[in-house]
Amino acid sequence: MATVSVSQLKPGDKIIEDVVTKLGNVLLRKGISVTPREIEVLQAFLVPSVAIEGRETEPEQVDTIKVVQGDDANARFFREYDRMVQLLKKVFKDSMSSPTIPVLEMRTGLERLIADISQYNVLTFLPRTGNAQEYVYHNAILVALTSYLLARWHGFEKKDWMPIALGGLLHDIGNAKVDPAVLSKPTELSALEVEEIRRHTLHGYSILKHIPALNEGSKLCALQHHEREDGSGYPMGVKGEKIHPYAKVVAVADIFHAMTSHRAHKKAQSPYLVLEQLQQESFGKLEPGIVATFIDKVTQFHNGTVVRLSDGRIGEIIFTDRSNPTRPMVNVKGTIVNLALERNLFIQEVVN
């Protein structure tokens, strides 16, 4: 037996232990012989190494070290994630009475998370802990990480990446001044309650505007992440160029995570269905170039992903046509379902 990194696998190698995803699902069964297809699947799931037969001791020793390093990175990422949740709880609580925000501490925590951002997959990442009542904290972290990646992908200068991430982390800070009963109300909101929630944008900017350690664009993310290109957003109803570029990035990340997360008043939606809705929203509502970059990048590396279709069947994504990135081909027990043609179906859930 030898443990080798996926990058060292060769066609014909025989896997002698089940390969399991981080969620505990079996990705590849023991006994199969590796083909280029299996290597693609392993890379798509960021599997660091596998056990095979017929390799000498030296590679096994080297690659065991790699596995430990990979496991350490994953554990480190979740540890920093949980620390950030606790920090945000304190920041939200303190912002009710304190005029300051611990920007340096938040930035340092965000930098530690970003150092292991390879452990974060926009479409499939799930926090280990949390509930609907803690949605605002988890949403803040997910929006920060996704905004950071989106800024990189879309070609923002490197100096902008961290301010955009901080803008994402603090975009909903104004919710600290909204009645918690309204935020967590499980039934439809009244017109007055909707108006109260909308004021979180103004509250947020009010909290952040006098903090010198924050970039102005980061502050404007709190104010403008619900503004829309056609002026239909809030709180000011500004259009196009009047919306800061940072806020345009955060808006896309926020919509995606708001729709794919469980909240008190609504269940999470399929990430692929949300991507389709984002694609439709980009016409007149969101910056279309940013939306296009987001959809292209998050659907690029997911051959091998196990999904549940809207009719209940489970299959594996085998090919994504770049002209229809939200409607890939799915292998369901040997039957190829082309979602680009079968428009009555869609991906309901990413299983792993």
DSSP 3-state assignment of 312?
A: coil
Res 339: pLDDT: 95
Residue 62 near residue 40 (C-beta atoms within 8 A): no
Closest CA relative to residue 17, chosen from 50, 62, 46:
50
Res 351: pLDDT: 77
Residue 169 near residue 135 (C-beta atoms within 8 A): no
Q: Quote the CA–CA distance of 108 and 42 in Å, as a whole number.
A: 32
Res 71: pLDDT: 52
Res 4: pLDDT: 78
pTM score: 0.78
Q: Report, as ranges of residue numbers, the positions in the chain whose pLDDT lies below 50.
A: 56-70
Res 132: pLDDT: 65
337, burial (CB in 10 Å: exposed 0-12, middle 13-18, buried 19+): middle
DSSP 3-state assignment of 11?
A: coil
Q: Which residues of 175-210 are buried (b: 16+ CB within 10 A; e: fewer)?
A: bbbbeeeebeeeeeeeeebeebbebbbbbbbbbbee
